[in-house]
Amino acid sequence: MTDTPGTGTGPHTVNDTPNEILAAAKHAKDAASAAAEAVAARTKSWPLAKISLGMSIGSAAVAAAVLFANSRRDGK
């Protein structure tokens, strides 16, 4: 008898290949879900409201400084 994959004889039987494929797919799916959970956990801990408030106040301050500088330049 020959030792060909998929024939049911030898070390490579019909049942070995799908189990390896399913195991690899399950491992990849578990790794992807773990990565998604890690990203979600990191983004939950970010104080986005405080960051956006600080950015808007900072932007307003920069805009006010630019307008003030331009108004003094035009008045001379």
Ramachandran class of 12: left when φ > 0, alpha when ψ lies in -120 to 50, beta otherwise:
beta
pLDDT digits (tens, 9 = 90+) for 34-64: 888 888 777 666 677 788 888 898 899 988 8
The CA R_g of the chain, rounded to the nearest whole Å, is: 31
Q: What pLDDT does 2 receive?
A: 53
Q: What is the DSSP string of 6-72?
A: TSS-SS--TTHHHHHHHHHHHHHHHHHHHHHHHHHHHHHTS-HHHHHHHHHHHHHHHHHHHHHHHHH
Q: Where are the domains of the chain?
A: 1-45, 47-76
- Is pLDDT at 30 greater than 60 in this prediction? yes
